[in-house]
């Protein structure tokens, strides 16, 4: 019974469908869940081919490691994408901040010039008519 190789509620239906497709087209392949001896399920890849007289050959491969590596690659790419996006935002913010700092420094220079050449400083340099002590 081929359904023993498929885990899950629809194992018999999937097995019948896979055999029918393999009989019609000469091959069926797909992914499903397998059951380990300890009862745990795991992802696996199946290939079924007819070998004559109503007999079929089944090849299955545990793809747990492959899926784990694929998930790690996806996570790495996602983190890399977030890093690139963050770098772009930081770059744009730095450009804005540079403009603000540049104009602030220019404003401070003009303010200093205004203070040094302004009326307050001129009055403070005039001789006093009343001695302080």
- Smallest CA-to-CA distance from 5 within 53, 28, 68 is with 28
Contact 52, 43 (CB under 8 A): no
Q: What is the pLDDT of residues 15-29, one digit of tens each?
A: 778 888 888 988 988
The two tokens of residue 8 are 């899950």
Contact 56, 41 (CB under 8 A): no
Q: What is the CATH number of domain 2-62?
A: 3.30.450.20
Phi, then psi, of 29 in degrees rounded to 5: -140, 150
Give the dihedral of Cα atoms 21, 27, 32, 35; nearest 10 deg. Answer: 110
Domain ranges of the chain: 2-62, 67-116
Q: What is the pLDDT of residues 53-88, one digit of tens each?
A: 888 888 989 999 999 999 999 999 999 999 999 999
Span of 6-15, 25-34, 63-72, 85-94 with lowest mean pLDDT: 6-15
Question: What pTM was computed for the model?
Answer: 0.52
How many C-beta neighbours within 10 Å does residue 34 have? 21
CA distance 57 to 35: 19
């Amino acid at each position: 019974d081929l359904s023993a190789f498929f885990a899950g509620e629809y194992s018999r239906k999937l097995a019948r469908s896979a055999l029918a497709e393999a009989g019609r087209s000469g091959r069926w392949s797909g992914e499903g869940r397998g059951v380990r001896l300890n009862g745990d399920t795991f992802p696996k890849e199946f290939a079924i081919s007819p070998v004559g007289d109503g007999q079929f050959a089944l090849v299955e491969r545990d793809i747990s490691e492959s899926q784990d590596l694929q998930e790690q690659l996806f996570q790495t790419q996602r983190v890399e994408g977030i890093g690139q996006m963050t770098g772009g935002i930081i770059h744009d913010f730095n450009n804005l901040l540079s403009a603000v700092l540049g104009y602030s420094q220019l404003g401070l220079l003009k303010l200093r010039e205004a203070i040094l050449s302004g009326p307050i400083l001129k009055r403070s340099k005039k001789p006093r008519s009343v001695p302080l002590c």
